[in-house]
């Protein structure tokens, strides 16, 4: 006889939240049906196997658990009435059912989890990509059995030649589809037999992207630029701070506080991966910081003026504001670049490429890994290979320099 219970699994996600699941047990073997919902462990009542009332969404989540338990028990009773001794895996498959969950439903659960984990930027971008797929298909229901190689090839062609996006952008759409499919396989037991990714099917391969940074002369032009408007000078200062701090990402530059600076060092946590960074403050950066220190009101105040009217506790609003500010900065940088005769497209992101370009072959790759805060040295090697030309240039010259 199989038993079915609601449980809180002991495998937290990256946000430290635990998944709610339905456990099916038979002959001491267990399998799990995941609800796609996560909670803090403190809200789980082990005795009653329910979410405590202190959780802000306890009623809704307990209703969801009750519904899932009722559906599972109904299928279990049907299985028992057939007098067939099913394994726990077959019972789970029967409970899920072939058409229980479609791709877009799984996508909505995936997006909801991004919101719960406060990944607002990802939620916004991935939500838009899912909508593009819905518009392409002109429907809001997509069984996993329909999501085959042929459909994905047609969708990629639509992206490339009708929406006219780049190869890398098209791959980002396919990556999202694969991520949601894998999420549904893991959390809801979606059948693998129609899985459209892998060898001989759809393979995810990112094309090499061109990374071009400014050279020393071009950075000097920015450092010595004159007669700029106030807005343009703010943009140049922001770019230079990013460059001086090893290609610091624009969101991190905009959120710099005076309290991040101690004993002539900068201490901050990267917004992208929450890694801690400590860098010496270069003299060139001190000159720029001194310009803004005149407006300093308290030690926890922001260095740059762009986010001063934004509620920093509201991460969603902060990310939205950073997007808008970055667009404005890039627009002003392009005007400055044109006036200085810089032919490369000047943007905040190119500050990181410029640091890589000027460092080139000068700095050991292990040190660059520390400066970039890459988890893997392979990432650093792949990134820096865009800017390390000395050996290949010398090799070329040895062949043709006769």
Band (pLDDT 50/70/90 cuts) for residue 232 is: very high
Band (pLDDT 50/70/90 cuts) for residue 98 is: very low
Query: Is a pLDDT exceeding 80 seen at residue 235?
Result: yes
Query: Is a pLDDT exceeding 70 seen at residue 402?
Result: no
Q: What is the mean pLDDT of residues 208-229?
A: 86
- Write the DSSP symbol of residue 26: E
Site of tokens 């270069």:
282
360 within 8 A of 390, measured Cβ to Cβ? yes
Site of tokens 């400590």:
278
Q: What is the mean pLDDT of the chain?
A: 83
Q: Which two tokens stand for residue 47?
A: 């005795």
Q: For 236-283, how does the pLDDT look when each residue is reduced to its tens digit (9 = 90+)?
A: 999 999 989 888 889 999 999 999 999 888 887 776 666 677 888 889
Buried b (16+ CB within 10 A) or exposed e, 362-374: eeeeeebbebbeb
CATH for the 216-359 domain, from 1.10.443.10, 3.30.565.10, 2.60.120.10, 3.30.559.10? 1.10.443.10
Helices (H) and strands (E) in the chain, counts: 15, 8
Q: How far apart are alpha carbons 29 and 91 in whole angstroms?
A: 12
| Total residue count of the chain as it appears in this document | 402
**Residue 4, phi-psi category: left (phi > 0), alpha (psi -120 to 50), beta (remainder):** beta
Q: What is the mean pLDDT of residues 151-166?
A: 93
Domain boundaries, the chain: 3-96, 103-188, 216-359, 365-402
- Write the DSSP symbol of residue 49: T
* Rounded percentage of the chain residues whose pLDDT exceeds 70: 81
Q: Which residues pair with 34 in a beta bridge?
A: 21
Q: What pLDDT sits at residue 20?
A: 86
Q: How far apart are alpha carbons 56 and 36 in whole angstroms?
A: 17
CA-CA-CA-CA torsion for 329, 334, 339, 342, nearest 10 degrees?
A: 120
Q: What is the pTM of this model?
A: 0.58
69: exposed, middle or buried (Cβ count in 10 Å: 0-12, 13-18, 19+): middle
Strand intervals (E) in 27-161: 29-39, 44-45, 50-51
Nearest Cα neighbor of 142 from 114, 181, 110, 113 is: 181
């Amino acid at each position: 006889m199989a038993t079915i219970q609601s449980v809180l699994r002991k495998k937290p996600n990256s946000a430290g939240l635990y998944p709610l699941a339905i456990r099916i047990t038979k002959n001491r073997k267990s399998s799990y049906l995941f609800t796609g919902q996560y909670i803090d462990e403190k809200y789980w009542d082990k005795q009653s196997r329910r979410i405590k009332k202190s959780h802000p969404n306890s009623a809704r989540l307990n209703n969801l658990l009750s519904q899932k338990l009722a559906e599972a028990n109904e299928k279990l009773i049907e299985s028992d009435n057939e007098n067939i001794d099913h394994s726990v895996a077959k019972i789970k498959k029967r409970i899920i059912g072939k058409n229980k969950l479609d791709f877009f439903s799984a996508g909505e659960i995936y997006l909801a989890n991004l919101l719960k984990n406060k990944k607002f930027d990802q939620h916004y971008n991935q939500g838009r990509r899912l909508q593009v797929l819905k518009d392409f298909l002109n429907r809001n229901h997509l069984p996993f059995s329909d999501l085959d190689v042929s459909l994905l090839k047609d969708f990629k062609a639509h992206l490339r030649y009708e929406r006219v996006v780049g190869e890398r952008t098209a791959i980002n759409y396919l990556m999202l589809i694969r991520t949601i499919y894998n999420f549904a396989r893991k959390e809801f037991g979606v059948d693998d037999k129609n899985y459209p990714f892998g060898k001989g099917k759809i393979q995810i391969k990112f094309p090499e992207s061109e990374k071009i940074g400014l050279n020393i002369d071009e950075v000097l032009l920015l450092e010595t630029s004159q007669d700029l408007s106030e807005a343009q000078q703010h943009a140049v200062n922001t770019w230079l701070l990013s460059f001086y701090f090893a290609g610091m990402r624009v969101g991190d530059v905009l959120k710099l506080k005076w309290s991040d600076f101690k004993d002539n060092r900068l201490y901050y946590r990267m917004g992208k991966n929450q890694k801690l960074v400590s860098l010496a403050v270069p003299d060139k950066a001190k000159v720029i910081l001194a310009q803004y220190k005149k407006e300093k009101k308290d030690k926890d105040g922001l260095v740059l003026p762009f986010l001063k009217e934004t509620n920093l506790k509201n991460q969603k609003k902060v990310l939205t504001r950073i997007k808008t500010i970055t667009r404005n900065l890039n627009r002003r940088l392009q005007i400055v670049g044109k006036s200085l005769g810089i032919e490369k497209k000047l943007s905040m992101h190119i500050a990181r490429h410029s640091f890589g370009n000027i460092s080139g072959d000068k700095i050991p790759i292990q040190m660059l890994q520390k400066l970039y805060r890459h988890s893997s040295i392979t990432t650093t090697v792949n990134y820096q290979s865009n800017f390390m030309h000395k050996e290949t240039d010398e090799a070329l010259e040895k062949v043709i320099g006769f």
